[in-house]
A and B are shown apart, each in its own frame.
Chain A
Amino acid sequence: MSTAATVAETDEGGRSARPTNIPLLLLCILSAVGVIVAAVDTFSQGNGIAFSGGAYLVLCSTILLLIASLIVMLWSSGPGWARGILLFLIFLDLLGTGVAAYFLDAYLLLAVMALGFIAWLIVLFAGGSRSSQGRVVA
């Protein structure tokens, strides 16, 4: 595995295809983990928050987070303003889900959101800029 921030995948024709941004990939993975944790919180009877409005809320918000992260990762050709808006929405989602998790005493979900926030910062300031996405690492 490359240690570089971004890896370009090459299709059979040798043409550079979707570049894979590792911070974005990490954000997607953490979002997926967030969905799983939120689902467990929502449907595990006896945890104090199962089937509550707050649990359903964080389940929805983590699903939205995953969708937004995937779009940013996969839609590299999209306009910059759309990417900026999506990244801003991802930030709000991470923040809101984290706060909700705190008030739900769902500390594992809170931890996942905190890690997601770190990944988001890396995407924003290190590996996630459009200029870096095109970088091809051998």
Chain B
Amino acid sequence: MIAKTIILATALLLAGAVAASSQETNTQPAAPAANPEQPANPASPPPSNHAPDPWMKPDLWATFNGDLMAQKYAIPDQITPDNVKNLTKAWEFHTGDVSDGSGNKPMSVWSATPLFVNDTLYIGTPFYRIIALDPGTGKQKWAFDPHAVLKALTQPDLKNRGVAYWQADNPQKGAACQKIVYIGTMDAKLYGVDADTGKPCASFGKNGMVDVNQWNTINKKWPLSLLQPPTVYHNTLFLGWAGRDWTDQADPPGTVFALDARTGKLKWTFDALPKEAIPTTGTANVWASMSIDPKLGLLYIPVSSPSPNMYGGDRKEKLPLATSVTALDVDTGKVVWSRQLVHHDIWDLDTNSAPTLVDIKKDGKTIPALVQSSKQGFLYVLNRKTGEPIYPIEEKPVPKSDVPGEQAAATQPYVANPAPVTPDRWSGVFPLADWISLGACSSEAAKLRDDGRFTPPSLKGSIIFPATAGGTEWGGGAVDPTTNTYVVNSSRVVQIYTLIPRKDYQQKAQNGESAGYYPQTGSPYGFRLQTFLNWAGMPCWKPPYGTLAAYDLNTGKRLWNEPFGEVQRYGFYMPESWGSVTIGAPVITKSGLIFIGASMDSRVRAIDLKTGKVLWRSLVDAPAVAMPAVYTYKGKEYVVFVVGGNSILLPKVSDQVIAYALPK
């Protein structure tokens, strides 16, 4: 709002905002063959005798991303751009599983997508309970409590992104565990319970639990935290995990596990790192969600960066599957193709979301495509059968490292079309923030290394943009497959990376999730991560801090790009034109609406897909950093948000589940 901007500029309201990053982990082990930096089209797709699971109907919201192709597209069309203004609360439920960190439990961070399947709404909580709700009333049907360890074993907060669901193709009536709901815990335990009763499935693992940490045997330093629910297809659970970033040089390698959905038995594993690299590195794990082309039988995994995340002097060998999007054969785990998105990653630019699968129309042809969003702000549009770019990816020279021992990659992949969600350079010092800081912002900026995209970390400190905070975070984008309109939210966060020689590194403990000192033990350098803020906590860079954009995937053209959400600090809302850092993801409905939470201002919104204009908004108890579920139940369309908050945005938490519907 212009008025707010004017008042701000003249009245000197302390504001402040935002911070940083996100990301959760990394890892990985030995990889298949793999050639150099560039990927990786070793095999042709497997013979296509695959088909979607019969129970996974398109009118369900049965997976973390709504469907296996991560389209986040809802077919209910009762709520339209014309009547969305009438949307009201249908019901509300509070789980009780919330912690602000003031007691003996760490703060809760709740990003669970509710699942609508089996005529039930299933949610996982940050205390690792499963709760089954009536989708029309929000009344609890049952709850399962694994009595999980509620300690910050890997992440600084208690995190959960929900549950997964599986059912037999032909469930036997009266038999238990023909339908199973799964939840993972921070200490690497995967529980499977009967979807109708909530009772543990005796046939799954040991009395309903698989201890995934049994396979944590290399560079074991912490448990393989199961925060992201598994991806389910053809009676198989595909499982990645999260660990602890930035603490060590050699971390557990990022194995992906394929488990039998009924028994929990291991079917195959995939490792993105070659065995010979393990002594000095690790991670390159898959901590975000995955997508599947059920007809091609391909599993698409977003592979994160290797450790240590900010210094690669001791891992100069080619690690072609690290920081990549990789397609695996669902039956064997073998690599079908892989494309590295950042070479020799020294910025922690994990590939961090499930690629969105969609068939696009280009030059008169229908091409099976995927869209991979990224922290670096590029949207990579690839042929999902082969991994070849549909829109060009150009290798461009990038700045060299000046850190002794480091050797940054000479080039990095750039995408010009579709236009990146973040600009190539940071926006420059924000005069208001500079004025409030008596010039500290500009003087600090002048001292730092700043050579544009892919400026390497340095001893004097480097301005990194886009940095580990994104770009686009783990939610990824959504697509309307009828028009191939792709929508994605993003953040613009400027961060400072400083390497500290080991002899000078005095800090004993790792700091917070988005800023602090991190030891990278075993490497020659510790590391300091800062978000570029002034003393008042106000960003030193010019807004906007977050946007929501729509693209026509058939041409790559950006249709609109609007500041999204509002920064909130000390209760004060900043101008809408500033936007907000976002964590979460949009959902698109058939009627042409976008539903999204994601912003700092604790609001959920409905947006016109055609114009990007906000048509409806509602206040909730905390930032709604989970993607919503949209479904029709007993003839009525519901939009359900889990409202949990995220310490990266605000120290504001909640246990609210809220459903909206049109009044009768």
Contacts and interface: CB of A to CB of B under 8 A. Distances in A.
Contacts of A99: 7, 11, 13
A103 B4 contact: yes
A102 B570 contact: no
A104 B571 contact: yes
A25 to B, nearest CB: 30
Given A47-B619, A48-B601, A48-B619, A102 B571 contact: no
B7 A46 contact: no
A102 B602 CA distance: 17
Given A48-B601, A48-B602, A48-B619, A53 B571 contact: yes
A105 interface: yes
Contacts of B619: 46-48
Contacts of A57: 570
Interface in B574-602: 574, 601-602
Contact of B572 (A45, A46, A54): A54
Given A48-B601, A48-B602, A103 B621 contact: no
B4 A54 contact: no
B573 interface: yes
Contacts of A7: none
A10 interface: no
A30 interface: no
**Which of A53, A102, A103 has the largest number of chain B CB atoms within 10 A?**
A103
Interface in B547-576: 568, 570-574
Contacts of A103: 4, 7, 13, 572-574
**Which of B4, B11, B568, B570 has the largest number of chain A CB atoms within 10 A?**
B570
Contacts of B574: 103
A49 interface: yes
B573 A52 contact: no
A102 B4 contact: yes
A104 B572 contact: yes
A49 B566 CA distance: 13
Nearest to A106: B571
Nearest to A52: B571
Contacts of B3: 102
Given A99-B7, A99-B11, A99-B13, A49 B571 contact: yes
Interface residues of B, number: 16
A100 interface: yes
A112 interface: no
Interface string A94-117: 000001101111000000000000
A123 interface: no
B11 A54 contact: no
B618 to A, nearest CB: 11
A53 B572 CA distance: 9
A54 B571 contact: yes
A105 B11 contact: no
Contacts of B572: 54, 100, 103-104
Contact of A102 (B7, B568, B601): B7
**Which of B11, B572, B603 has the largest number of chain A CB atoms within 10 A?**
B572
A55 interface: yes
A93 B11 CA distance: 14
Contact of B570 (A46, A47, A48, A52): A52
B612 to A, nearest CB: 22
A47 B601 CA distance: 11
Interface string A16-55: 0000000000000000000000000000011111001111
Nearest to B650: A52
Interface string B143-177: 00000000000000000000000000000000000
A54 B14 CA distance: 10
Interface in A74-107: 99-100, 102-105
Given A48-B603, A99-B7, A102-B3, 13 more contacts: A45-B621, A46-B621, A48-B568, A49-B571, A52-B571, A54-B572, A99-B11, A100-B13, A102-B4, A103-B4, A103-B13, A104-B572, A105-B573
Interface of A: 45-49, 52-55, 57, 99-100, 102-105
Per CB-CB distance, the 4 closest pairs between chain A and chain B, nearest first, are: A52-B571, A54-B571, A53-B570, A49-B571
